[in-house]
Amino acid sequence: MKKIILSAAMLLSSLAGISQVKEGSITYSVSMEGLPPEQAAMMDGTEQITSFKGNKSRIEFTNAFVSSIAINDGKKTTILMDQMGQKMYFELTEEDNKKKDEKASNTTIEYKDETKKIAGYDCKKAIIKTKDEKGEETTMIVWYTEQLPMAGQSSSRSSNTFKDLKGAPLEYEAKQGPFNMKFTATAVSKDPVPDAKFVPNTDGYIKKSAEEMKKWVG
């Protein structure tokens, strides 16, 4: 389960800045296929809330077992994790992200003619393929809306999964090993977001390096 948690957190980190419309938030329901029954039960009620403002974003991921917050303040990404009281955090700087992106292959996007409505918005289908530094390919199915255009990509990332997408993603799913994670928007808000949302509060958290976090999950 720890490995699933970190995989989810790293996915959230890579998606930081995905919903850069202008200002507001998108609430997603989250599901994961391929889990054993006891772990699947822990995923019930899992939710993600993405808040965004200019080149900043905050992604909150919560369920009964874990909560994680990924904050991109325009310069770096801070990921805070709380697993049943065990709190730790780590940071990805602009240089970390550039090094990671230099090792990765280019992302390709294939647009499809299929459409459907999500959270009241007309969405179109796209298939995004990426390769990591080991050459392993990940395929993501995305439903995006041009009614919420992408804008103000985070300056702390030289690239990200949705950077060249024609609109904001309201549903996306990606396979990670035997698991398939799916995010579906249930509500979209354009209400102002306080600046304090993009300031990480690490009180009570132990700082770890990204390498230490990988060792922690085994």
Q: In the structure encoding, which two tokens stand for residue 8, read together?
A: 């989810």
Residue 197 has pLDDT above 90, yes or no: yes
Under the banding of pLDDT at 50, 70 and 90, the label for residue 102 is low
Lowest mean pLDDT among 11-20, 39-48, 59-68: 11-20
Lowest mean pLDDT among 4-18, 33-47, 51-65: 4-18
pLDDT at 181: 83
Distance between CA atoms of residues 157 and 100, nearest Å: 10
| Helix, strand, or coil (residue 8) | helix
Average pLDDT, stretch 120-141? Answer: 85
158/128: higher pLDDT: 128
Under the banding of pLDDT at 50, 70 and 90, the label for residue 180 is confident
Task: Quickly name the fold that domain 2-213 has.
Answer: outer membrane lipoprotein receptor (LolB), chain A (2.50.20)
Average pLDDT, stretch 129-151? Answer: 79
Domain-by-domain residue ranges, the chain? Answer: 2-213
Under the banding of pLDDT at 50, 70 and 90, the label for residue 209 is confident
pLDDT in tens, 116-128: 999 999 999 999 9
Other beta carbons less than 10 A from residue 186's beta carbon: 12
Across the chain, what does the average pLDDT equal?
Answer: 78
Residue 165 has pLDDT above 90, yes or no: no
Q: Describe the strand order of the beta sheet including 23-33 as a list of residue ranges.
A: 108-118, 121-131, 137-145, 168-176, 179-189, 23-33, 47-53, 56-62, 67-72, 76-83, 86-93, 206-207
Residue 198 has pLDDT above 80, yes or no: yes
CA distances from 20 to 65, 130, 136, 194 (A): 29, 21, 28, 15
| Helix, strand, or coil (residue 134) | coil
pTM (2 d.p.) = 0.78
Taking CA 106 as the corner, what is the angle to CA 100 and CA 108, rounded to the nearest 5 degrees?
135
HSE-CB for 187 with a 13 A CA cutoff = 10
Of the ranges 100-109, 173-182, 192-201, which is most confident? 192-201
Distance between CA atoms of residues 202 and 40, nearest Å: 29
